[in-house]
Amino acid sequence: MRITTKNLQRTYLKGLNQNIKKLSDSNERLNTGRRFSRLSQNVVDGSKALRVRELMQRNLDYVSNAQQVQLELSSQEDKIMQMQNLVQDAKELMIRGYSQTHNEDDRTIISGQLNQIKEAMVQIINSKSVDKYTFATNHNEPPIQVNGSDITFYGQNVNHNDRSDFANGAFNVDIGFLMNINQSAIDVLGHGVDTSGIPNNILVLLNDISTSLLTNDTTHQAQYTAKMDTIATQMLMKVSDIGMKVNYLDSTLSRFGDENLALTTKQNNLEAIDFEEEVIFNKTYEMAWQISLQLGSKVLPLSIFDFMR
């Protein structure tokens, strides 16, 4: 084949362009830290990377929700423990009240203290954790209404025996699945009346005890004591139920953490460049480009005219 001056120039420029393109692509990768900045540069890894990003974002949402559930459960636990302590205090007061060493004035004072404990419990049960009523199921209103001796849970008298007649809507939080974080005031405080006519609800019970102290009626002393123990135990059981949920959430959060780590590693493998490797490539491309330039300045102008006399 006859080699002309244009042949030489075209081949040289093609090589030079290829070298500078490689250098420019490598510079872009080093600047961005990414193996590709458009999907068309790496369709397979690019589409996988988009999926991974999505999963990571979803994981972050679940972690945030799980952390909120943890706060919610922790608040439920704290408040039930406070009420359980109040039940213990009430029990001690009741025992003191029924004791024959106290006169009528003392019993009146103790009766008043029991009423204060009841009010404190109503305050706790009707309180909000952060922005929601802690024991309100899925309602947006305080769960317990006290109107004299009439105590109701969303309109239903707490002495009602059938649990299914009480409001019990679920409030779900998405942690990969929908977790019901509802804790009903009626389950914490108790409802209905037992076969002996003793109320299962602590607020009604405190009302009854308070009244019996004023009338110095000690007939149900033993049953009241037993009932208070039962309610206190029920509260502790609730706390232990919540504890189990908290433990489950802990392991869930730890799983999310592991998944996130795995996803981050995957994302790095898919998207991020190996800097050491890329820098070596970059230097190689730079050198190839410089050699091309030197070659151009030395080879191209040479022709027979450089040697003719």
Burial-class residue 240 by CB neighbours within 10 Å (0-12, 13-18, 19+): exposed
Query: Phi/psi class of residue 190: alpha, beta or left (left: φ > 0; alpha: ψ in -120 to 50)?
Result: left
Output the smallest distance, CB 302 to another protein, in A.
9
Nearer to another protein among residue 46 and residue 192 (C-beta) = 46
- String marking each residue 95-134 x if it binds another protein according to CB under 8 A: ------------------------------------xx--
Q: Which helix (H) or strand (E) holds 34?
A: none
Residue type, 263: L
Nearer to another protein among residue 1 and residue 105 (C-beta) = 1
Nearer to another protein among residue 64 and residue 161 (C-beta) = 64
Burial-class residue 145 by CB neighbours within 10 Å (0-12, 13-18, 19+): middle
- String marking each residue 57-96 x if it binds another protein according to CB under 8 A: xx-xx--xx--x----------------------------
Query: Phi/psi class of residue 102: alpha, beta or left (left: φ > 0; alpha: ψ in -120 to 50)?
Result: beta
- String marking each residue 174-193 x if it binds another protein according to CB under 8 A: x---x---------------
Q: Which of 167, 200, 172, 197 is nearest to 184 (CA)?
A: 167
Interacting residues with another protein between 239 and 278 (CB under 8 A): none
Strand order in the sheet with 144-147: 144-147, 150-153, 156-157
Question: Under rule CB under 8 A, how many of the chain's residues touch another protein?
Answer: 48
Output the smallest distance, CB 36 to another protein, in A.
7
Asked if 291 is part of the footprint of another protein (rule: CB under 8 A), the reply reads no
Please pick, from the candidates 12, 25, 27, 46, the single residue that binds another protein as defined by CB under 8 A: 46
Output the smallest distance, CB 23 to another protein, in A.
18
Stretch that binds another protein, among 10-18, 101-109, 189-197, 280-288 (CB under 8 A): 10-18
Please pick, from the candidates 103, 162, 196, 304, the single residue that binds another protein as defined by CB under 8 A: 304
Please pick, from the candidates 28, 54, 165, 274, the single residue that binds another protein as defined by CB under 8 A: 54
Pairing of strands 172-174, 144-147: unpaired
Which tokens sit at 115?
């009423």
Evaluated on CA atoms 104, 110, 114, 120, the torsion sign reads positive
DSSP state at residue 142: -
- CA–CA dist 180, 67 (Å, integer): 14
Asked if 22 is part of the footprint of another protein (rule: CB under 8 A), the reply reads no
Which tokens sit at 49?
């990377």
8 A C-beta contact, residue 228 and residue 98? no
Residues found near another protein in the complex (CB under 8 A) = 1-7, 10-11, 14, 34, 36-40, 43, 46-47, 49-51, 53-54, 57-58, 60-61, 64-65, 68, 131-132, 136, 138-141, 169, 171-174, 178, 303-305, 308
